[in-house]
Amino acid sequence: MSKKQKKVLFRIIISFAALVVCGIVSYIFDGMPSWGQLLMYLVPYLIIGYDILKKAGKGILNRQVFDENFLMAVATIGAVALGEYREGAAVMLFYQIGELFQSIAVGRSRRNIAALMDIRPDCAYIERDGEIAEVDPDEVEVGSEIVVRPGERIPIDGIIYDGKTTLNTAALTGESLPADAKAGDEVHSGSINLTGLIRIKTTKEFGESTASKILELVENSSSKKSKSENFISRFARYYTPAVCGGALALALAGPLVRIMLGMSPAWGSWVMRALTFLVISCPCALVISIPLSFFAGIGGASGKGVLIKGSNYLETMSKTKYVVFDKTGTITQGVFEVTAVHHNARERETLLEYAALAESGSNHPIAKSIIKACKTAPDKARVTELEELAGRGVKAVIDGKTVAVGNDKLMRELGVEYRKCHKSGTIVHISVDGMYEGHIVISDVIKPTSRQAISELKAAGVKRAVMLTGDSVAAAEPIAAEAGMDEVYANLMPADKVEKLEWLIDRKNDGETVAFVGDGINDAPVLSRADVGIAMGALGSDAAIEAADVVLMDDNPLKLALAIRISRKCMRIVYQNIVFAIGVKLICLALGAMGIANMWLAIFADVGVMVLAVLNAIRTLHIK
């Protein structure tokens, strides 16, 4: 509990004690004059309510009259003026109790979010001339060498040049399983070094590092309001003056009608009704709980590695009925692997060894995948007369034999009769001394969780999952089928993807949205065009964070279903609070206008509803 909250609690206790004493004194001295009771009850009233009166006065001076402080001040002062001293003091007391509960609940939700996002490092340790010095992370330049010891948080993005360790990246990705890191690996600020001392050469400034980008994104998310928040802001702007006018009309109309009917005006009774009406009308529950629901939803999502740039995107994502995927790096791992060796006249390992030796001088992804599949490291001394043939493959002399490794074009050029492959993927043919020896199939492998992710999206209410890719139909269709896609469109250029996405958007019904999921780097045009653009596997990628509305910080497509579940539960809580708060207010306002509701029911309609709505709102922190 903060110092401010402790002070309020102390005032509540003192005021409550004073109110009890006043009640006892009134009972003992039953005939106490009215001015004596007034002076006595003013003590607990002013102890607990002086700050509310002060805020109401400032609001009037600043021409911002119609807020909850003004309503509470008018209602309680009016009750005291009518001789309801006990009720006036008690209403102010219970209002402050409700405010304290609300402050504690909001503070707890903010602390939970701060703990989830506690990734900003306090300092960095830089190595200069063999000495380690503590410096402010803002002072560390790109290319500096920093030291991170076990238990410390990595302050700035960089590459390990010495040491190995295990990293906890949960604050960035939401993934609790530690990851190994060694020399040559890229590491990101905000990760915690668990086991070994490592030395890092920084690749970014502190302000451009991953932790800073994430914190900036979450902090700025509150500036992008959802339709629900904008509705509540407009509602409160017109609602409060309207109920003040309604209370005034109630105080005047009732007595005037009674006078016209020849009856006693009963001014006191009707003014009390109007004051009760004012207390009931306070819109605190809506004004506080709705923004808090979105704030907690965004904060809870960020702790699970899902960064949402604003409550407007959270609301849009909750209506997602069509999810469109890029293939490479989204549904598939984006890493090419040797998946088969066909028609090989020699042993499989021998064929792979010939191919790896021939490709040993190349940095092409296909070459790397072949070298990786070979069990023995290529001995370049066995290779002579290496020749790279652009767009076709390579030729080399290995152990005195002429080896050609390449595509159909190379085989036709050499006059080698090759065998076509029935499998999808990149086909690499191999010939030795002009004789066909077989071919290697290299494919992009589907992620192990992709099919489950599509299944969970369907369970969450997504109608169709669609894949757009620049790959061939032969490469795309098997992946789409394995993942459980409803539609697949292949051979698409970036402009074609945008056109196809627009066609899908035109097919949707009103109130439905289309999400596009890509890697955030080469899919920027499509991410921008979608109703909600989602970048996957974007840890450390500035392009992804800039292009997308929602950023999944790791490569797991299951996070997409999690993001949609979070958005939908958050919106359910928002709608629950809107319906509950407005519904209770309207019922109690009607009862107050009819004279059935008293000040105690008014306190429940204001403070009680506000506390319940706030407690409901912070449930969004714990969505799974």
Rounded CA gap, 168 and 172, in Å?
9
CB 6 within 8 A of CB 13: no
Give the tens place of pLDDT for each residue, 71-85: 778 878 877 887 878
**Mean pLDDT, rounded, for 487-515:** 87
| % of the chain beyond a pLDDT of 70 | 89
Average pLDDT score, the chain: 82
pLDDT of residue 219: 59
How would residue 294 be classed by pLDDT, with cut points 50, 70 and 90?
Answer: confident
Give the tens place of pLDDT for each residue, 554-603: 878 888 998 899 899 888 988 888 888 888 888 888 887 787 877 777 77
Which is more confident, 418 or 293?
418
User: Where exactly are the structural domains of the chain?
Assistant: 1-113, 124-155+157-203, 334-446
Q: What is the DSSP letter of 141?
A: P
pLDDT of residue 220: 60
Give the tens place of pLDDT for each residue, 207-264: 887 777 766 666 565 555 667 667 666 776 777 778 778 888 888 888 888 888 888 8
pLDDT of residue 411: 92
pLDDT of residue 113 exceeding 60: no
- What 3-state DSSP class applies to 167? strand
Rounded CA gap, 490 and 237, in Å?
51
CB 241 within 8 A of CB 278: no
pLDDT of residue 298: 81
**Mean pLDDT, rounded, for 135-162:** 89
pLDDT of residue 608 exceeding 90: no
Tokens found for residue 418 = 């090759």
Closest CA to 147 of 168, 136, 133: 133
Which is more confident, 287 or 61?
61
- Strand positions, DSSP E, 399-544: 401-406, 426-432, 435-446, 464-468, 487-489, 513-518, 532-536
Mean pLDDT check: name the lowest of 112-121, 144-153, 507-516, 531-540: 112-121
pLDDT of residue 360 exceeding 70: yes
Tokens found for residue 145 = 């060498």
Give the tens place of pLDDT for each residue, 148-160: 999 888 989 999 9
CATH 2.70.150.10 fits 124-155+157-203, yes or no: yes
Tokens found for residue 270 = 């009707």
pLDDT of residue 484 exceeding 90: yes
- How would you class 452 by CB atoms within 10 Å of its CB: exposed for 0-12, middle for 13-18, buried for 19 or more? middle
Rounded CA gap, 453 and 33, in Å?
75
Q: Which of the residues are catalytic?
A: 326
How would residue 198 be classed by pLDDT, with cut points 50, 70 and 90?
Answer: very high
Q: Could you tell me the sign of the dihedral formed by the alpha carbons of 367, 369, 371, 373, in that order? A: negative
Rounded CA gap, 75 and 354, in Å?
90
Which is more confident, 534 or 3?
534
Which is more confident, 328 or 6?
6
Class of domain 334-446: alpha beta
pLDDT of residue 597: 75
How would residue 66 be classed by pLDDT, with cut points 50, 70 and 90?
Answer: low
pLDDT of residue 202: 92
pLDDT of residue 538: 64
Which is more confident, 2 or 339?
339
CB 150 within 8 A of CB 193: yes
Candidate ranges 341-350, 364-373, 406-415; pick with highest mean pLDDT: 406-415
- What 3-state DSSP class applies to 12? helix
pLDDT of residue 112: 54
Which is more confident, 120 or 384?
384
Q: State the greatest distance between any 2 C-alpha atoms of the chain, in Å, as a whole number.
A: 123
Q: What is the DSSP letter of 602?
A: H
Continuous H helices in 282-331 = 284-302, 311-317
Rounded CA gap, 364 and 405, in Å?
13
pLDDT of residue 133: 86
**Mean pLDDT, rounded, for 488-508:** 86
pTM: 0.68
pLDDT of residue 224: 58
pLDDT of residue 70 exceeding 70: yes
Continuous H helices in 29-117 = 34-61, 68-81, 85-116
**Mean pLDDT, rounded, for 473-502:** 86
pLDDT of residue 465: 94
Q: Which residues contact 235 (CB under 8 A, 6 or more apart)?
A: 283, 286
pLDDT of residue 110: 60
